[in-house]
Amino acid sequence: MMRPIGIKQITGRSPLPESVMERIKLIQYADANHVLGQMASVVNAGAEDRLGEVFRNALLRAEHDHRMLQFEMNRLEHALTKSDIEPIVLKGGAYVALRKKAGNGRRVSDLDILVDEDQLVEVETLLKEAGWETEETTDNPYDQSYYREHMHELPPLRHRKRGTIIDIHHRLLPRTARYNVDVNAMRKMAVPLEGVRLKTFNDVDLFIHSAVHAFGDGSFDAPARSLVELSMLYEELSEEDQKHLPQRASDVGAAIPVSVALWAIGCFFSIKNALTQGHHLMKFRRHYILRWAIKSKTLTGRLSTLAKAFLYIRSHYLRMPLYLLIPHLTRKAFAWRPLSKKPVELPFP
């Protein structure tokens, strides 16, 4: 079980634990939750001691991801030169490209982009011409049509030679989702990235999307990472942007996830302003099970399995109505799955 202070220590808001075993456990937790690189970029360690070496190691791994990301963005731009489409880079890709604090040391495994729904066919065609192809796990008629009919993104594409994945979104939540976030309003305010034909959301909308991703859709699958990123994005908002955030969240229909996010970072990182803002935006005092589940899953407490189950069910409840959900989950539960690809070949005994 991780103590709440651990999350603060990862972001440098509290000094590291004195006990060596506690320190090691914190590093293991950060590594397993993919925030060791972000921790390494904000927590000071002497360059000479062992902690400095552990951090340096984590940053080297993130540097690789960032090189990959930069190259993939370049290839994407290249693939779309024939069109006038300017995709919006989402999530980690945006944080890294904008040199946000949340992007420093962040692991990135794929590129997420957002385009207009009318542009989907064109983007998919151009990317396929440039070497991307349907990713093997979703290369079956059911998944293909399921993604296209109900989801907020196309089935993932993998590049034939480089093996990298690109997710093409046309909205932020599934078509069938209970909340309807006004992605067009967000797209209108998108800002161009310097020197390339790609865009990102503006700072306020970056926070909103991160909140929607963590609490409006998924089952809060990377709890520590979501919280760390939300806190860093919030912290980097200008005073004016912070003030403007609740209004913007209501305008684009993301009041609920944003209020949960504000409560969560307020509570985990003792950011008073976030707590107050979250409370004003939505009085969700009654949502005590949700709040308990978020805490429990993040801290991997004794009942975290129960918390995970609750968040899993909630995520599906939010994603689609029961008449679609039940047949889908039934099919997934009984679906025949081919055995996974052969394991990585390693050059040792």
Q: Which stretch binds another protein (CB under 8 A): 24-32, 82-90, 112-120, 213-221?
A: 24-32
Question: 17 or 295: whose CB is closer to another protein?
Answer: 17
91-130 footprint of another protein as x/- string (CB under 8 A): ----------------------------------------
Shortest distance, position 121 Cβ to another protein, whole Å: 34
CA 296 to CA 302: how far, in whole Å? Answer: 8
Residues in a beta bridge with 100 = none
Closest of 321, 223, 285, 247 to residue 2, by C-alpha: 223
- Asked if residue 328 binds another protein (CB under 8 A), the reply is no
CA 62 to CA 40: how far, in whole Å? Answer: 10
Containing 133, the helix (H) or strand (E) segment is strand 132-134
Question: 31 or 221: whose CB is closer to another protein?
Answer: 31
- DSSP letter at 340 equals P
Using CB under 8 A, which residues numbered 32 to 91 contact another protein? 32, 49-51, 53-54, 56-57, 60-61, 63-64, 67
Q: Which residues contact 250 (CB under 8 A, 6 or more apart)?
A: 281
- DSSP letter at 138 equals G
Q: Which two tokens stand for residue 110?
A: 């794929």
Shortest distance, position 240 Cβ to another protein, whole Å: 40
Q: What is the DSSP string of 241-310?
A: HHHHHHHHHHHTT-HHHHHHHHHHHHHHHT-HHHHHHHHHH---TT-HHHHHHHHHHHTT-TTHHHHHHH
Q: Which two tokens stand for residue 212?
A: 């929607």
Shortest distance, position 204 Cβ to another protein, whole Å: 35
Q: Which two tokens stand for residue 251?
A: 């305008």
210-249 footprint of another protein as x/- string (CB under 8 A): ----------------------------------------
Shortest distance, position 40 Cβ to another protein, whole Å: 12
- How many residues belong to the site for another protein (CB under 8 A)? 26
Shortest distance, position 39 Cβ to another protein, whole Å: 12
- Asked if residue 31 binds another protein (CB under 8 A), the reply is yes
Shortest distance, position 343 Cβ to another protein, whole Å: 3
CA 118 to CA 138: how far, in whole Å? Answer: 23
- Asked if residue 291 binds another protein (CB under 8 A), the reply is no
Using CB under 8 A, which residues numbered 3 to 22 contact another protein? 20-21
- Asked if residue 162 binds another protein (CB under 8 A), the reply is no
| Distance, first Cα to last Cα, the chain | 36
Binding site for another protein (CB under 8 A): 20-21, 23-24, 27-28, 31-32, 49-51, 53-54, 56-57, 60-61, 63-64, 67, 343-344, 346-349
